[in-house]
Structure 1
Amino acid sequence: MDFAERYLYLRSMPGGPKFTETALLPLAESAEEVVFRRGVRLLAVDTLPESVFFLMEGQVELVERDGKSRGFIGAPGAVGILALMGDCEMPYDVIAREEVVALSVDTDFFRETFEDNFDVALEIMSSLAANLAARRTQLPAGLQPPLTFPAHLARARELGLVERMLIIRRFDIFGPGALTGLTEVAQQFVEETYEAGDVLYRSGDHADMFYLLLSGSLRVEWPESVQMEGIGSPYGNLEALGSLPRGATATVAERVRLLRVPFETLVDVFEDHTDMMLAIIAQLARLVIQFTGTVFNPDIVRSSAQIPAPPAASTQIPPPDPAPPPLMTSDPK
């Protein structure tokens, strides 16, 4: 497969990231076509992936430590990307169940590509968040552990910059951020108070605001259920990160005090402090890995009895897709 064919395949691959030309060209240049015989292990459990693989022919099985099958991925699909972005070890073996032809990209090169291309990193973050948000009902309650704040931070007065920094850093999503980036984020957050009965947002609204609850509680009405969100909740932020419309209506149940910031403002900060966004990407990727099987990608990861026969091998490169689905639908780790 020559450079042009590799380029077209990566560009058109369902579930592939919406790479810019700047990012796609070096990826296609560095990709190598590899062939794995049936039974060969592409990636090993409990190891960091050294390559990511974009499957062109054949299918692989995901096998856990105890030998239990988690499912299959067929071409076109990708393996190794989530563990790479989560900076974590593979949660299972990836084994060829027939002859597999794939494009291999070195993980260090792949990481450098999305770290050096802000738009690609932003798209990856949005894709991960959107996939988790879309499976909200299957996620355990409280992805963010309950938080408590020191009494001097919970007093009913306006918080200063240092106090906002101390509070923001307690949230998992901002904890790993560098001090300079955290300072800039804290400067952008605005403190507000809402009374019981006030509507924070309605179902269908654009999720353009990022909220951190400091006191009080929200009544959140989903189409199928009602839940309460209280102190320490980074509420609705998966929708904001995923550029999704609100899926529920949030009404103040008990007087709420919160910090809020427009998501576009956060994006501007992330562009200057990419380490913060990369830390968020890693957290989201690990969440997807943690809840694979019950949450992620039920249409691609299936039991062996449900896997259809693989398509006949073809050397024809599929035409470019101008609007590929989000990245993570191809790599359910």
Structure 2
Amino acid sequence: MGNTYLITGGAGFIGSNFATYIYNKYRDSKIIVLDLLTYAGNIENFPVNINNINERFEFWYGDVKNSALVEELVAKSDYVVHFAAETHVTRSIFDNRNFFETDVIGTQTIANAVLQNKHKIKKFIHISTSEVYGSAHQCEYMNEDHPLNPASPYAAAKAGADRLVYSYVNTYDIPAVIVRPFNNYGPKQHLEKAIPRFITNALMEEKLHIHGEGIASRDWVYVEDTCNGLDIILNAPLNKVQGEVFNLGTGKSISIKEVALKVIKQLNIDSSFIQYIEDRPGQVDCHRADINKMKEVLNWTAKVEFEEGLEKTISWYKNNSQTWEKQIWMRQIPIILKDGQKVIH
């Protein structure tokens, strides 16, 4: 058996895509997923059939704040990739305490476990977010030294976790790397996010709601490119990446309105389906990644152009309606598992 990868939040969107990427690429690897299966986690996202015993895959239902469980799983791992977080801007406005508990205390729990095993752990990747930057002045490119000006409780919680991990590198010399992905999209994404919401509303012939005038723009990166970038960081020499921050983006920005128009064009529906609603609090005007560091240090650039990625994403939602339609009602079903319960394997 090769390396063991602990992926926290591995039932979520990017985490599950990354777990699938690693599972398929490294055939001798073992994957351990830790996830609390909150609203955005879905066991159908896993890269294996959960009804079959599989020596290469374990799923543990549990909270990243459960230090005993986290320490047990980290001790069995070679690499730790920490996705687990509350991630939605609007939700954070109305439930901010939960965001700080999960995103900051959860990250501290993971970091402490890595510290206890720092001579065994080859690399600890902390997944931060471009939201920590706030808005770019005049839509400038945002490099890794851009000031951190989080504009929402979610972004503030992630900024706290981001800097906490850096402090552990500086203080304890843990083998950590901080990654700030820009706006990911692709298969399996929860319907609360803009692109899957636009796509599924269009497929159901419902209105596509746009906040404000839709001029807020984002750097949209296809999730497969993000997985590839993380893989490159995992395999890079530690002395090139330890304690460093890396943006994962495309260097291009597209407004929310443009995204909606591209969706309805690809699905061949009328623009009258677009409806403008009031802007949301904590809105960020513009994100655009400066991608030079990943390119120069690790020779990585995003490969998938937006139109191609959008076409792939639309195709997945068209062909998997039985999966995403469950999200509309599934969250009303209570979870009956216990924190720290091993479910698969």
Give the structure-1-normalised TM-score: 0.27
Q: Which has the larger radius of gyration?
A: 1
Normalized per residue, the structure richer in helix is 2
Structure 2 length normalisation: TM-score?
A: 0.26
RCO comparison, higher one (Cα < 8 Å, 6+): 1
Identify the structure with the greater strand proportion.
Answer: 1
